[in-house]
Amino acid sequence: MKKLTVIAVTVLIGIAVLACSGKKETSTARSAESEIVIAVVPQSLANPVFLPAKAAAERTGRELGIKVEWIAPVRAEAAEQVGVIEGLIERKVSGIAISCNTPDALEGVLKRAIAEGIKVSTYDADSPASGRAFYAGTENYQAGVISAQQMIELYKDSGLEKVRIAQLEGIPGAFDIEARKRGFADTIRGTNLEVVYSGPCDDDVDKSIDIIESYTRANGDNIDAWFMSGGWPYIVNPDATPEVNAWKARSPNHKVVTLDVFPTSMEFFDRGLIDVAIGQNFDGMGELSVRNLYRLIKGESVEGAVQTDDGLFIDSGVQIINAGNYKEMIPTE
């Protein structure tokens, strides 16, 4: 009887040890997941265009059970962004997804992050020479092409001998803006459309409004169209741009084509102040960046990417929004 009791106790102890061992492995696996930190770095904290990317990145992090940090300088300055990345290298985060203020200025620090074993990707604005693993975002040259095609279509029956276009740009030298400008310029070449002015706003909403208002006030009779390579002026209420609004109302041949769309864009379309908007998928950029960095950290491959001359590219896509479809296409919140 004693022998049977000893055997039974031994079996129970063995089961308990196995159970504890299993729990320990599960706990260790969960701990490993929780130790993964991916930092998502927009160009600045002051630019609300990135808020959908923030929400999507954080949502994806919760879904994967990992920590996602949203961190950036207050102003869109490359030197300050470099400082942010240096801090992330010091902390040894697992991954970094960044929208680069300028590609060259961020190249060196991103190479250092990669050398330290951090998985690095870009979104929205690329730095191909940095060695980043992939870029997730808009095909920006093509976005410029589409913008130009829409502008050409708007003027095909205008009867104007020449269409003079004023152009609003963001940060001079930024990869995304320069690509859009090239796509736009290449597409209008040989047509009756011509860019006669280009003003950089440094991704600053207030500065963007100052630029388009002051230039339209001084030169409104000498331009037929505005091409906004980013949607900075449309983040605010339409009453913030009275000069441009008055110019737009003066002639049916005054047109506006812009990148980006926001809930506030609805009223601009309602009042006929925008003709075409090319909507970017910032939600997709946030999700694709975090999900694929996580895959790389886990030793898996990037999903949905194509190989280009600049490296792996995941296209988040664009939407063409106009007077005929804006009520269905523009998000309300």
Query: In whole angstroms, how far apart are CA 132 and each of 107, 116, 128, 219, 312?
Result: 9, 13, 7, 43, 9
For helices 140-154 and 175-188, the axis angle rounded to 10 degrees is 40
Q: Are residues 258 and 215 in the same domain?
A: yes
Please count the structural domains in the chain: 3
CATH number for the domain that contains residue 186: 3.40.50.2300
Q: What is the mean pLDDT of residues 245-249?
A: 98
Residues 171 and 276 in one domain: yes
Dig out the tokens for 52 from the structure: 């959908």
Which of 10-19, 104-113, 156-165, 252-261 has the lowest average pLDDT? 10-19
3-class DSSP string for 128-173: HHHCCCCEEECCHHHHHHHHHHHHHHHCCCCCCCCEEEEEEECCCC
pLDDT band at 20 (very low <50, low <70, confident <90, very high): very low
329 lies in some domain:
no
pLDDT of residue 4: 33
When pLDDT is averaged across residues 120-142 and rounded to a whole number, the result is 97
- Are both 146 and 249 inside the same structural domain? yes
Pairing of strands 311-315, 135-137: parallel
Inside any domain, residue 98: yes
Domain co-membership, 244 together with 307: no
Q: Is residue 59 part of a domain?
A: yes
Residues 46 and 82 in one domain: yes
324 falls within a domain: no
In this structure, the answer to whether residues 171 and 256 fall within a common structural domain is yes
Residue 332 covered by a domain: no
**How distant, in Å, are the alpha carbons of 9, 10, 19, 22, 140 from that of 13?**
6, 5, 10, 14, 64
295-320 pLDDT per residue, tens: 999 999 999 999 999 999 999 999 99
Pair 61, 170 in one domain: no
pLDDT at 331: 81
Please tell me which residue, 29 or 299, carries the higher pLDDT value: 299
pLDDT recorded at residue 276:
98
pLDDT beyond 60 at 101: yes
Q: What is the pLDDT of residue 333?
A: 65
> Do residue 200 and residue 305 come from a single domain?
no
pLDDT for 33: 61
Question: 256 with 175, same domain?
Answer: yes
Question: Does residue 163 form part of some domain?
Answer: yes
pLDDT digits (tens, 9 = 90+) for 257-274: 999 999 999 999 999 999
Calculate what percentage of the chain has a pLDDT beyond 70.
89
Which DSSP symbol is given to 220? G
Does residue 12 lie within any of the structural domains? yes
Residues 145 and 272 in one domain: yes
Cβ contact 69:57 at 8 Å: no
Write the CA distances from 129 to 96, 107, 108, 109, 204, integer angstroms.
16, 7, 9, 12, 26
Residues 13 and 129 placed together within one structural domain of the fold: no
**What three-state secondary structure class fits 120?**
strand
Give tens-digit pLDDT for 197-240: 999 999 999 999 999 999 999 999 999 999 999 999 999 999 99
Does residue 165 sit in the same domain as residue 253? yes
Q: How many CB atoms lie within 10 A of CB 94?
A: 20
Tell me which residue range forms the domain holding 310. Answer: 35-138+283-316
